[in-house]
Amino acid sequence: MKRWQYLSIITIAFLGIIISIWLTHLHLKIVSEPEYESFCNISERINCDKVNSSPYSEILSIPIAHLGSLTYLLVIILALFSLKGHPLSNLLSTFNLIIFIFSNLYSFFLLYVSISIIKSLCILCCGLYIVNLALLIIALFNIKSYFTLNIACPLRDNRLFTIAIIAYILLTLTSSLAIRNLVIDKRNQNRPNQSDKKEIIYKDIDISGSFSMGSHSAPVTIVEISDFECPFCRKAYITLKEAIHRYKDKVRLVFKNFPLSSECNPKVKTNMHPNACYAAYAAVCAGEQNKFWDYVDKLMTGELNKDQYVRYANELGLDIDKFTTCLDSNSARQSIARDIETCVKCQIASVPTIFINGRMLIGARQVQEYIIVIEEELRKAERR
C-alpha cells in the first residue's frame, strides 16, 4: 500500500472517530433525558434521535457508535504501524481491508433498518456510512500487495506494536464496560420502580367519536392527548408510532386534542401555542375526508400556519373547497371542544398525556418505556 493510502485512511478514520463520539454523546443524552432533542431531529423522516434511541442502536446495551469509534481507532493504529514500515505491514493492511468490508456490510444492514423498519434517517449515521465506503475504496487500490505476507515477525522484536495492541484491548474492554453500565443505570433511573407501580393512575377516558388507528378489537388501546404546537407532543407521537409499528393489530391508537391556547381551550389562561387551535381544526377537517392520520403526520413534522394547512390539504389530494369551509365551521370547533371537555373530566393538566389501557403516562417518554407498558397490558389481556 502506498503512503497516500495510509495517510488518507488515517485521516478518514479520525473523522469517523469524531462522528462516532458525537453519536455516542447523543445516545447517552437521549437515554438520560427522554425529552432531549438533538440538532438533527429535523422531521419524522430525518431524525437522529429516533434512530439513535431504537433497539438497533445498541449491542448488549453498548451503543454501536462507541463500538464504531473503537473500530476506527484500531484502523488508525494498524495504518500507523504499516506507514512506519512494520514487518507485517501487508498483513496489517489486509486486516484493515477485512474491517472495511465488514463495516460496509453492517452499514448496508443499518441503512436497511433505518429505511424499512425505523423509517427515519440519521444524518450522523449516514456520515459514518460514507466514511466506511471511502475507507474501502481507498484500500482497494493496489490490492495485490495484501497477498504478499511476511509472517516471520516475533512479537518480542516489535514491543511497541505489542504494547499498542494490549493497550487497545484494555481500552476497548474498560470503556465498553463503563459505557454499558452507564447506559443501564441511566435507563433504570427513567423506568418506574416497584413503588412507582403501586401509584400508577388508571382513568377511564371516553374515546367515542375520536379518530383512531388500528383494530377496534385490539387488546391494547393507546390514547394520545396532544397539542400540535408542543415539541414534546411531536416527539411522543413519533415514538408511539414506532412502538405501534411493532404490534400492528394488537394495538389501537386514539387521538385527542388539548391545545394549550386560550383561543379554543377555556382551561388555559394564556395563548401559549397560538397556532395549536387552528391546527387541531385542520386535522379534524382532513379527518372528514378520511385523511386524518396522513394530515397529522404533516402537522407533527411541519410548519403551522393557515397557508400551510391548505398546502398540506393540497398535497394529500383533499377537496380544498370542503376543507377551507370546514376550517372555519362550527363543527370543527365543536369537535375540539368535545375533546377538551373529555380531557378536563380526566383532569388533564399537561401535554402530552398518554393512556395505555387507561394507564396514565405524562410527558414524552422513550420508546422502550411505552413498549414495557404495552407488553404488560398484552400479558394481562392474555390471562383474561
User: 357, 351, 254: which is closest to 296 by C-alpha?
Assistant: 254
Is residue 232 located within the same domain as residue 96? Answer: no
**At a CB cut-off of 8 Å and minimum separation 6, what does 237 contact?**
224, 226, 296, 300, 352
Q: Is 213 helix (H, G, I), strand (E, B) or coil?
A: strand
Is residue 224 located within the same domain as residue 337? Answer: yes
The answer to whether position 34 is within a domain reads: yes
Is residue 373 located within the same domain as residue 273? Answer: yes
Is residue 165 located within the same domain as residue 229? Answer: no
- How high is the pLDDT of residue 197? 45
Is residue 18 located within the same domain as residue 160? Answer: yes
The answer to whether position 207 is within a domain reads: no
**DSSP codes, 345-378:** HTT--SS-EEEETTEEEES---HHHHHHHHHHHH
- How high is the pLDDT of residue 236? 87
- Per-residue pLDDT tens digits for 253-287: 999 999 999 999 998 888 889 999 999 999 999 99
The one-character DSSP state at 54 is S
- How high is the pLDDT of residue 124? 93
Is residue 175 located within the same domain as residue 226? Answer: no
- How high is the pLDDT of residue 44? 66
H helix or E strand, kind and range, residue 23 = helix 3-32
- Per-residue pLDDT tens digits for 37-90: 788 877 767 888 878 877 788 898 899 999 999 999 999 999 998 888 777 777
- Return d(Cα 29, Cα 52) in angstroms, integer: 10
Please report, for the domain that includes residue 132, its CATH number.
Answer: 1.20.1440.130
- How high is the pLDDT of residue 342? 92
- How high is the pLDDT of residue 144? 63
Is residue 148 located within the same domain as residue 49? Answer: yes
- How high is the pLDDT of residue 196? 45
pTM of this structure: 0.57
Number of compact structural domains in the chain: 2
Is residue 292 located within the same domain as residue 160? Answer: no
Is residue 108 located within the same domain as residue 36? Answer: yes
Is residue 342 located within the same domain as residue 270? Answer: yes
Is residue 42 located within the same domain as residue 164? Answer: yes
- How high is the pLDDT of residue 48? 85
Query: In Å, how far from its chain's centre is CA 125?
Result: 12
Range of the domain at 275: 212-383
| Under-70 pLDDT residues of the chain | 34-35, 44, 142-157, 190-200, 384
- Return d(Cα 168, Cα 160) in angstroms, integer: 12
- How high is the pLDDT of residue 136? 93
Among 137, 157, 189, the domain boundary falls at 189
Please report, for the domain that includes residue 343, its CATH number.
Answer: 3.40.30.10
- How high is the pLDDT of residue 119? 77
